[in-house]
Amino acid sequence: MTEQSGPSTQQIVEKVWLSIAERRLRPGVQLKEEQLATIFNVSRARIRQALTVLERDGLVTIIPNRGAFICKPSVEEARDVFFVRRTVERCVIERLCVSVSKPNLRRLRDHVAQERIANAQDITTDIIKLSGGFHLLLAETVGSDFLFTTMRDLISRSSLITAVYRNTNRFNCGPDEHAEIVEAIANNDAVKATHLMAHHLDHVESELDLSEIRDLSHDLRAALS
């Protein structure tokens, strides 16, 4: 009788986010509210909350009276996101190199270590989460709420862009380049750190195939399982 109240809004968001990043949900697919409500075993109200969050993160577009669709970022939008990332991440690095506490340095190194483990064991889900999580952790370490939320928005959009335009099967936002950046920060070497980050972003962007989007699958239930 006492039905489990189902996943929270945040859990739904993460599930959809991951499904998009893993390419199980393709751009252009409509996320119908009742369908999602059935899949997640929650009411439509909670689904609508999750969809508004996903819209804010730039992963879906909500068209009034039409519904929510997974975004198809254009090539221009993709380049724009990376352009802004260069500016913002540079700002983050510069502030970190001025002063980074020992505990924060430890957190960064621990994170890179986790990335190495996920890569070694080839667990795609963890690789995706941790890869974006590194950049997010950098922003969090700065201590600026605004930079953190901005980076969060950038990362979620980058994940979608990578899912759409990535050419290879490997995720090249690997732990090695991250590790170098952390060590440059540890040495308070702002020049080196910013160069490494710029190179890292160039590298990630260069892996993208900026041709047209392929078509989409419709098996919602399987993609979200």
Q: Which residues bind a copy of itself (CB under 8 A)?
A: 49, 52, 56, 77, 80-81, 83-84, 87-88, 91, 144-147, 149-150, 153-154, 157
Q: Is 43 in the site for DNA (CB under 7 A)?
A: yes
The entry of a copy of itself, DNA, none near residue 153 (CB within 5 to 8 angstroms by kind) is: a copy of itself
Distance CA(92)–CA(155), nearest Å, equals 14
Q: Is 43 left (phi over 0), alpha (psi -120 to 50) or beta?
A: beta
Amino acid identity of residue 209, one-letter, is: D
Q: Is 46 in the site for DNA (CB under 7 A)?
A: yes
Distance CA(25)–CA(92), nearest Å, equals 32
Among the listed ranges 66-74, 84-92, 144-152, 163-171, the one in contact with DNA (CB under 7 A) is: 66-74
Distance CA(19)–CA(106), nearest Å, equals 31
The entry of a copy of itself, DNA, none near residue 64 (CB within 5 to 8 angstroms by kind) is: DNA
Q: Is 224 in the site for DNA (CB under 7 A)?
A: no
Decide: helix, strand or coil at residue 126. helix
Shortest Cβ 60–DNA spacing (Å): 11
Sorted by sequence, the CB contacts under 8 Å of residue 200 that are 6+ apart come out as 173, 177, 178, 181
In Å, the largest CA–CA distance within the chain is: 62
Q: Which is nearer to a copy of itself, 32 or 56 (CB)?
A: 56
Q: Is 67 in the site for DNA (CB under 7 A)?
A: yes
Interface with DNA by CB under 7 A: which residues?
5-6, 8, 30-34, 42-46, 48-49, 62, 64-68
